[in-house]
Amino acid sequence: MSMWECLRLALRALRRNRTRAVLTTLGIVIGVGSVIAMMAIGTGARERIAEQLEQMGTNNIVVRAGSAVRSGVRAGAGTAIRLTTSDAVAISELPQVSAVAPMARQNVQLRYRGTNWATRLEGVTPDYLVVRRWTLASGDFFTDWHVANAAQVCVLGYTVARELFGVTDPLGETVIIGRLPCRVLGVLSEKGASSWGRDQDDILLAPLSMVQRKIRGKPYLHNIVVQTSSREATKQLDLDIRQLLRRRHRIEQGQTGAFRIHNRTEIAEASEQSANVFTWLLGSIAAVSLLVGGIGIMNMMLVSVTERTREIGIRMALGARQRDILAQFLLEAILLSGAGGIFGVAMGVVSASLLARFSGLPVTVTAGAVGIAFVFGLLVGVFFGLHPARRAARLQPVDALRYE
């Protein structure tokens, strides 16, 4: 018997029991749809994390001064050594360093006419935009000339500009930082909240030298952000920076805690691994419903074999071989799971779209997730349909013809 004939008989058998076939297929539909929707949520979360890490700079190394310990009491950060601008210059001369951004930080109260706003002031250099991968929404950033001359200029974060100026254009206006007037050169583009919930746009940037001399009155840095040429270079650069700082500050080899180095590449890799585990965990949980749908197919096929025992006996008596009977019932299972997979894909895509629209969750449907869910649904149908098909093929013609 040809494969087309087996397919025709399988379709005719399914049409005779449309309601039962539809209800059986429903389990596969729900299973495939659930897998696609859950993997879309996981993929969306992974992409959101990757986007936030990309904004911070995944191939960045952050150097901070450590804390001194005296009689078991740990002092604040920066008490062990003092990071200076000369340290940043020395680090910039290391191989595989593409940019260095020294920073000095201070919490300040901003005033503009009758409005005021408390924010975080960061003294930086022009390379700050490079290492943070930040752009300007309007205006210009200060230059090396402004840094060299401690110019009283600043760039506003998006939140600061909104709170102080509302819909008014702040470019060229003068804000008061404590008692120091500063001219606004530009406004940063909106960056949103960080992965730990802090508003990244609630910030004020000014030339590093101006903050050190006229705001803080201290020449020290809070941290130095170093951008490498590639992710692979960060581990070696981490070691080079440690050796450089130990040599410059005369730190003994066994002494620890003088400074801290945070490698964001390791954070990015750990976050990506966690997001991947989360995605596959959601998909695995949803796949349980696929197994339930497969059990439904097996149950329906076993009932069908029992009901059609005499039909099987007649076909075998007329010359049908075991492989013909096996092919027919296996095709029925494949048709059920295939149809369920197609409708399940549609259900999953629609469900993911509705989740993204009404819940605000980051949802991304990928071709890989759709393919995996559909193929897995098809394999489930084949696996659970194989036992009933083999049972039908192994019936003896005499026993099948006598079956009542």
Q: What would the pLDDT profile of 335-365 be if each residue is shown by its tens digit?
A: 888 888 888 888 888 888 887 787 766 787 8
Residue 323 dihedral angles phi and psi, to the nearest 5°: -70, -25
Q: What is the pLDDT of residue 39?
A: 81
Q: What is the pLDDT of residue 70?
A: 43
Structure tokens at 185: 């050169």
Q: What would the pLDDT profile of 34-91 be if each residue is shown by its tens digit?
A: 888 888 877 777 777 666 666 555 578 888 876 544 444 344 444 446 888 899 999 8
Q: What is the pLDDT of residue 318?
A: 65
Which residue type sits at 71?
A: S
Please give the distance of CA 181 from its chain centroid, rounded to a whole number.
42
More reliable by pLDDT, 5 or 387: 387
Listing DSSP states for 90-118 in one string gives HHHTSTTEEEEEEEEEEEEEEEETTEEEE
Q: What is the pLDDT of residue 47?
A: 72
Q: What would the pLDDT profile of 189-225 be if each residue is shown by its tens digit?
A: 998 776 566 788 999 999 999 999 999 888 889 899 8
Structure tokens at 47: 């992409």
Q: What is the pLDDT of residue 264?
A: 64
Q: Which of 93-97, 154-158, 169-173, 324-328 has the lowest mean pLDDT?
A: 324-328
- Stated length of the chain: 404
Q: pLDDT grade, residue 285 (50/70/90)?
A: confident
Q: What would the pLDDT profile of 126-150 be if each residue is shown by its tens digit?
A: 999 988 888 999 999 999 999 999 9
CA distance 31 to 49: 27
Structure tokens at 308: 């059609």
Please, which residues have CB within 8 angstroms of residue 270's CB and are 6 or more apart in sequence? none
Q: What is the pLDDT of residue 11?
A: 66
Q: What is the pTM of this model?
A: 0.60
Q: What is the pLDDT of residue 5?
A: 62
Q: What is the pLDDT of residue 350?
A: 87
Q: What is the pLDDT of residue 269?
A: 66
User: Is the confidence at residue 367, as pLDDT, over 80?
Assistant: yes
Q: What is the pLDDT of residue 123?
A: 93
More reliable by pLDDT, 25 or 189: 189
Average pLDDT, the chain: 79
Of the ranges 215-219, 247-251, 291-295, the best mean pLDDT one: 215-219
The DSSP bridge pattern shows strands 174-177 and 97-112 to be antiparallel
Which residue type sits at 24?
A: T
**Are the C-beta atoms of residues 123 and 208 closer than 8 Å to each other?**
yes
Q: What is the pLDDT of residue 267?
A: 64
Q: pLDDT grade, residue 13 (50/70/90)?
A: low
Q: What is the pLDDT of residue 72?
A: 42
CA distance 250 to 242: 12
Rama region for 57: left / alpha / beta (φ>0; ψ in -120 to 50; rest): left
Listing DSSP states for 210-225 in one string gives HIIIIII-----SEEE
The share of the chain scoring above pLDDT 90, in percent, equals 22
**Are the C-beta atoms of residues 237 and 96 closer than 8 Å to each other?**
yes
Q: What is the pLDDT of residue 71?
A: 40
Mean pLDDT of 222-250: 83
Q: What is the pLDDT of residue 185?
A: 94
CA distance 317 to 308: 14
User: Is the confidence at residue 120, as pLDDT, over 50?
Assistant: yes
User: Is the confidence at residue 279, as pLDDT, over 60?
Assistant: yes
Mean pLDDT of 276-286: 72
